[in-house]
Structure 1
Amino acid sequence: MTACLLAVSPLPLLAADGGLFSAEGVDRLHAEITDRVTRSAAWLDAFFVDPVYDEEQNDTRVRLRLDFFAERGESPETDLRVDLRLQLPGTRERWSLFVSGDGAEELDTEHGTPERRMDEASSIGLSYFLANDAFRSFSVSGSIKRRDGEYGLFVQPRYRRLWEMGDWNTRFTQKIGYHTETRFETESRLDVERLLGDDLFFRVTGEVDWEEEQPGIEYASEMMLRQLLDADSVLSYRWYNQFETQPEHALVVAVVGATLRKRFWRRWMFYEIAPYVAFPDDRDYRATPGMQLRFEMLFGRGEFGL
């Protein structure tokens, strides 16, 4: 029997007593529905290790990830990545050291992986969290990072604000970075999300990216629906569109796909199966099927670690 998000992430339920239809009862119902949306979003983002969640985790952990990509018209590729984050003792949980290494700075097979690879190059650095709670997060990171085969200094403030509005949550995230090789860049993201019943979670995302060394801007929209199958399995459906404004305003690629992520054997081991169909402009928007497979191990003090 399909488990519900209320059971998996355990969320508070409204007490039967206390005057449900009184003003106090209505306020309490509103607060509990709002809390359900926030906590369910956090649980699902943690399960997928979504950047929305991962960038704000200031704890000690290691993440090992192996990806396999296959797409019509492209040679199959693999990518091994190791990420380490170490919370520095005696800093009141504000400072952390991070090290990341990517086997390939940018893979050719990327139509089915709409996540930007801007932050996935090899790097080592420090993060400082000035604020970090459910409603607000502000951090500054400094690192040595590889871009276009060259290493340089990279500094990036990151700010996130969450507004709870009953059944809906709205989250705004802003990142401003400077790299000594590629200069300034910005990433602005807006998420609007809600629960649909007990085991469905819906999110709409809009993102705008700008880089000083690149002409124009890129922006994207995504609709995602995540379905909880059981305590160890989640199915995610997505429709993604990416646009650019230079050299002309155009749709770069549209992608529809699904991802099954499952925890198996051990609490800290996961695999993903993600078939998709892309419609890229460099192939005259012809349907281009592909597949991404992922094996992942998480070690640390987080919910899915040891």
Structure 2
Amino acid sequence: MNFKYLILLMSFAALHCQSAQDEQGAAQKDEPEQAYPWLDDMHENIAQSVQDTAIWFDDFFFLDGVMHQEVAQAEARIRLGWEPRTRELNQFQNRFRVRVRLPNLKNRLDIVLSDYDDEAALGNERLGRDDSFGDSDRLNLALRWRSRPNSGFSHRIGVGRGLQTFVKSRYRNHYSLATDTLLRIEGSVYYYSDDGFGSHFSSKFDYSANVDTLYRFDNNFYYRDRTKDWLWRHSWQSLHQFNRKTAIITGYYIEGLSRPNYQLNEHYVSMRWRQNALREWLFYEVEPFVLWRRDEHFSPSYGLALRVEGFFGHS
């Protein structure tokens, strides 16, 4: 990964931040399109490559005599990040995810390629540390099938976690408890050829204090057959949107294991500033944080995460 390129993108985003806050109206919409044309070329090339791949996959499943007006679509999400902290300055976290939708199979089958799996959902990573599942290779390629495009049940088969074959079934849904309160639940069970069985259960409560502020309580439990224990994660977050381009997320996060006893392994606090800059598809984040870990005797470690994130293709 060319980290000089990452730093260059962050520099451009930082220079744009002040002007984005001061400029309003139509002039603000027109100006970004005139600057940095290389961004448009890069976005067009990546988006076109992703789209061509989607069409190729969809044609592979084409059935003679069946015509579909809908064109196969693909979306890609790429994140580059540097998360230095005291005692660990070389913490880099780079993630990508590509999803292909196939209308020739009535949009019931998706192809998902990523370098992370659902245990480390993009956008909610733990800072300044390796994955506690102990896997350095998170490349994941899977076919996801649903009986209906809007079904809460989905099933996957593919390879991941160091080219292990796996199967997975998941249920995900949400329920409105009140006009301002939403409950999201998810449960899954899966089997990896080397790691064995595992399961995941999560519940997420969202409370909308007003149109700009959301409070979230997130709970996750994972059973790991390989280590015969439960990994748990809890978080309390406040999400505030200043405008359609700028938001801030503050939170407190804790994580631990069930063996040898139910104990805390790490916790941290952070404040994430997220800004949409230069283009509608480009975002950057600045996130100062403080991390305490058991294997570091819970001595505070201070850090600053810097990230650039781009969206390509069609959602």
Q: With structure 1 as the length reference, what TM-score do the two structures score?
A: 0.71
**Aligned residue identity for 1:293:** L
CA contact (8 A) 2:171 2:188 kept: yes
CA contact (8 A) 2:108 2:149 kept: no
Q: Which of these residues, 265, 274, 277, is aligned with residue 252 of structure 1?
A: 265
Secondary structure in structure 2 of the residue aligned to 1:266: coil
List gaps (5 residues or longer) in structure 2: 1-20, 22-71
Residue by residue over 1:209-253, the C-alpha shift from the partner in whole angstroms, topping out at 9 and shown as x without a partner, is 110011321112111110001111110011111121212321111
**Aligned residue identity for 1:213:** R
Partner of 1:263: 276
After TM superposition, the runs of 4+ consecutive aligned structure 1 residues lying more than 3 A away are 113-120
Residues 1:92 and 2:106 aligned together? yes
Residue by residue over 1:245-299, the C-alpha shift from the partner in whole angstroms, topping out at 9 and shown as x without a partner, is 2123211111111111111111101111111111111122221111221111101
**Aligned residue identity for 1:289:** Y
Higher helix proportion (structure 1 or 2):
2
RMSD: 2.5
Residues 1:298 and 2:311 aligned together? yes
List gaps (5 residues or longer) in structure 1: 3-57
Partner of 2:171: 159
Cα distance between partner residues in 1 of 2:277 and 2:283: 6
Residue by residue over 1:10-47, the C-alpha shift from the partner in whole angstroms, topping out at 9 and shown as x without a partner, is xxxxxxxxxxxxxxxxxxxxxxxxxxxxxxxxxxxxxx
CA contact (8 A) 2:214 2:240 kept: yes
Cα distance between partner residues in 2 of 1:89 and 1:113: 40
**Aligned residue identity for 1:112:** L
Partner of 1:215: 228
CA contact (8 A) 2:142 2:156 kept: yes
- Residue 131 (structure 1) shift: 4.3
Residues 1:123 and 2:133 aligned together? no
Secondary structure in structure 1 of the residue aligned to 2:104: coil
**In the comparison of the two structures, how many residue pairs are matched?**
235
Secondary structure in structure 1 of the residue aligned to 2:295: helix
CA contact (8 A) 1:68 1:293 kept: yes
Cα distance between partner residues in 2 of 1:254 and 1:139: 32
**C-alpha spacing 1:165/1:130, structure 2 compared with 1 (3 Å):** same
**Aligned residue identity for 1:73:** R
**C-alpha spacing 1:233/1:187, structure 2 compared with 1 (3 Å):** same
Higher strand proportion (structure 1 or 2):
1
CA contact (8 A) 2:245 2:275 kept: yes
- Residue 161 (structure 1) shift: 2.1
Secondary structure in structure 2 of the residue aligned to 1:296: strand
- Residue 130 (structure 1) shift: 2.6
Secondary structure in structure 1 of the residue aligned to 2:222: strand
Partner of 2:155: 140
Cα distance between partner residues in 1 of 2:141 and 2:293: 34
Q: With structure 2 as the length reference, what TM-score do the two structures score?
A: 0.69
CA contact (8 A) 2:88 2:128 kept: no
CA contact (8 A) 2:83 2:128 kept: no
Cα distance between partner residues in 2 of 1:285 and 1:185: 29
Residues 1:283 and 2:296 aligned together? yes
Partner of 2:248: 235
CA contact (8 A) 1:132 1:138 kept: no
Cα distance between partner residues in 1 of 2:243 and 2:132: 31
Percent identical pairs in the alignment equals 20
